[in-house]
Amino acid sequence: MGGIPAVAARKAARIDGARQHSVRRVREPTVAPSRSEPSHGASFLRRIAASAYEALAIAAVLVAVAFALLPAVTPSRLAGADPKSLYIMSPEARALSAAASFGACALYCAGFWCGGRRTLAMKTWHLALRTPEGAPVGAGRALLRYLGCLAGPALAIAGFAALQPFGYAPWALALLPFNYAWALVDPDRQFFQDRLAGTRLVLEEGRRPSGRPQA
């Protein structure tokens, strides 16, 4: 009979130990997997305003490129050119100017958009360019976004060439805002270049929305 109390005591000890282990597991804090803080998308009007500001900066870059190329494309560089005649750039000069302008704008946009850097327009409007996961954009994605920005001008040029024989060439200007009109049909109201490159213009850190819906 003396063995019965000993067995009961061992069972009670096991039950008590299991209860204590359960209590410790409940009290231990659970560590959630690390996730990046969600980025808050900027409003449509804020992005449009920043884009208009950015267009002024791009225009300044193009003017700087044009002045830098003057020694290479002016008539004084061409033998036998009449200084009093109206000068029209040669095909070679136009190709040089177009290539230099394209390259300078690519360096400006891709350079300031990648690695967490921002242009003056983005700083003024408190914007940052991020991936959908909230990470900074790489150089390849920034360059793809730059190429996407050229969709509107490219469509306008193609439309102008197609409609010119019919006398409706000015109507091609309606294609210029294609990149931004895309946001009216995009499910996330993203511009075409952001949809193409998989990027988002978001509010910078410390500029989170105060609960009001984004425009």
**Alpha-carbon span 215 to 163, nearest angstrom:** 36
pLDDT-derived band of residue 208, with 50, 70 and 90 as boundaries?
low
Structure tokens at 214: 């984004």
User: Is residue 28 pLDDT above 50, yes or no?
Assistant: no
Determine the pLDDT at residue 32: 41
Give residue-wise pLDDT tens across range 153-200: 999 999 999 999 999 999 999 999 999 999 999 999 999 999 999 999
**Backbone torsion region of residue 189, taken as left when φ is above 0, otherwise alpha when ψ lies between -120 and 50, otherwise beta:** left
- The angle formed by the CA atoms of residues 201, 108 and 200, to the nearest 5 degrees, is 10
> Whole-prediction pTM value?
0.74
What is the mean pLDDT of the segment spanning 5-16?
58
DSSP H or E segment with residue 42: none
- The alpha helices in the chain, defined as continuous H runs, are 3-27, 44-73, 91-113, 120-124, 139-149, 151-163, 178-181, 192-197
Structural domain spans, the chain:
44-203
Region 124-129: mean pLDDT is: 96
- Structural contact between residues 146 and 102, judged by C-beta atoms closer than 8 angstroms: no
More confident residue, 25 or 109: 109
**According to the model, what pLDDT value does residue 73 have?**
79
Q: Identify which has the larger pLDDT, 91 or 141.
A: 141
Half-sphere exposure of 206 (CA within 13 A, CB side): 3
Q: What is the pLDDT of residue 155?
A: 97
Which pLDDT band, with edges at 50, 70 and 90, does 10 fall under? low
Q: At residue 179, what are phi and psi to the nearest 5 degrees? A: -60, -35
pLDDT in tens, 13-23: 566 665 555 54
Round the average pLDDT of the chain to a whole number and report it: 82
Residue keyed to tokens 């200084």? 83
Is the pLDDT assigned to residue 81 strictly greater than 60?
no
Q: Which two tokens stand for residue 22?
A: 């359960």
CA distance 84 to 86: 7
